[in-house]
């Protein structure tokens, strides 16, 4: 197995932490980004830096200079970048109208624009190599926008759109773009859900005030029934890295609870998507 240089974002906890450890354990060189490594994330950064094959980089993903410095460091040290895993993100929940414009801009900045920034900076090196892999961690809510998760869903829809278009643009150049769609998992991210900054409108939604409690009860029941393991997402990343170039699927669903629903939706859309590209005379990109 060829050892790869892998950049993973959001590695202080959850999927990112597990993915960094899993990829490094295979002997790949991992560059793991964590924000504020000298402050609130100091302990986690120190622990991850002690893992063999892992180098921790202090990166603010919404800062162009910070991200560029990270890419420059990797290239200066390794001469290449083989895999980019855009894992970092924030979760939101609440009445959509309670999110201000600033709220939405912040969410999009982290969940959609930051991955784009990294892809834009990494792609020249991958294209020059005629080989590379970008894995974007999306969500089942990147396929369906749920009530009270409309803003979060919108950010993941954006990431899915970028990923899907790039998948077909870049594959002829030797670069694969793949999406992982996790379902609900008991991770630290799920415990830090952000709400809208304008609660003044929430009282106007009393007619559906009981819906969030029903959703949380259903999710808790699913957790008890399926016992979802966040390691499954890290394993999915490893599987994509191990697959040969050009044979990686666009979407991988990792969801023991409602994943079959998302898979069927993906399959149905794929059929119609192929018809669209054929109608536009570019069906060769489907190969």
E strand or H helix that includes residue 170: helix 150-170
The owner of tokens 């050892």 is 3
Annotated catalytic residues are 152
Structural domains in the chain, sorted by start? 5-259 (3.40.50.720)
201, 156 Cβ separation under 8 angstroms: no
In the chain, what percentage of residues exceed pLDDT 70? 98
Half-sphere exposure of 124 (CA within 13 A, CB side): 8
**Crossing angle of the two packed helices 231-242 and 14-25, in degrees rounded to 10:** 40
User: What is the per-residue pLDDT across 121-167, written as a single tens digit (0 to 9) for each?
Assistant: 999 999 999 999 999 999 999 999 999 999 999 999 999 999 999 99
51, 26 Cβ separation under 8 angstroms: no
Phi/psi for 175 (5° steps) reads -110, 125
Model confidence at 43: pLDDT above 90: yes
- What DSSP state is assigned to residue 182? E
Those residues with Cβ within 8 angstroms of residue 99's Cβ, 6 or more apart along the chain or in another chain: 92, 107, 151, 196, 197, 198
Model confidence at 56: pLDDT above 80: yes
Gap between the Cα atoms of 176 and 204, Å rounded: 46
Model confidence at 268: pLDDT above 90: yes
Model confidence at 109: pLDDT above 90: yes
pLDDT for res 89? 96
**SS3 call for 25:** helix
User: What is the per-residue pLDDT across 162-220, written as a single tens digit (0 to 9) for each?
Assistant: 999 999 999 999 999 999 999 988 776 656 789 999 999 999 999 998 888 898 888 88
The owner of tokens 């910070």 is 66
pLDDT for res 17? 98
Gap between the Cα atoms of 157 and 279, Å rounded: 24
pLDDT for res 152? 96
């Amino acid at each position: 197995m060829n050892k790869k240089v892998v950049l993973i974002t959001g590695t202080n906890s959850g999927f990112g932490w597990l993915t960094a450890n899993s990829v490094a354990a295979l002997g790949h060189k991992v560059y793991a980004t964590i924000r504020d490594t000298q402050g609130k994330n100091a302990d986690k950064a120190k622990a991850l830096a002690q893992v063999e094959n892992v180098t921790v980089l202090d990166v603010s993903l919404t800062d162009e200079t910070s991200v560029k410095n990270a890419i420059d460091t990797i290239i200066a040290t390794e001469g290449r970048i083989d895999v980019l895993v855009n894992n970092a993100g924030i979760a939101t929940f609440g009445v959509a109208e309670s999110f201000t414009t600033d709220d939405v801009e912040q969410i999009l900045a982290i969940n959609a624009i930051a991955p784009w920034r990294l892809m834009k900076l990494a792609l020249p090196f991958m294209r020059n190599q005629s080989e590379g892999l970008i894995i974007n961690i999306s969500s089942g809510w990147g396929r369906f926008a749920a009530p009270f998760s409309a803003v979060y869903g919108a950010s993941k829809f954006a990431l899915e759109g970028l990923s899907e278009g790039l998948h077909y643009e870049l594959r002829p150049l030797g670069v694969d773009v793949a999406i992982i769609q996790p379902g609900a998992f008991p991770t630290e991210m799920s415990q830090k859900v952000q709400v809208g900054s304008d609660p003044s409108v929430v009282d106007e939604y009393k007619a559906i005030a009981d819906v969030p409690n029903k959703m949380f009860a259903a999710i808790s029941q699913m957790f008890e029934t399926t016992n979802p393991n966040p390691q499954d997402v890290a394993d999915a990343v490893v599987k994509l890295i191990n697959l040969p170039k050009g044979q990686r699927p666009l979407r991988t669903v990792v969801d023991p609870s409602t994943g079959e629903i998302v898979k069927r939706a993906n399959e149905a859309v794929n059929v119609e998507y192929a018809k669209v590209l054929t109608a536009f005379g570019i069906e060769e990109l489907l190969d």
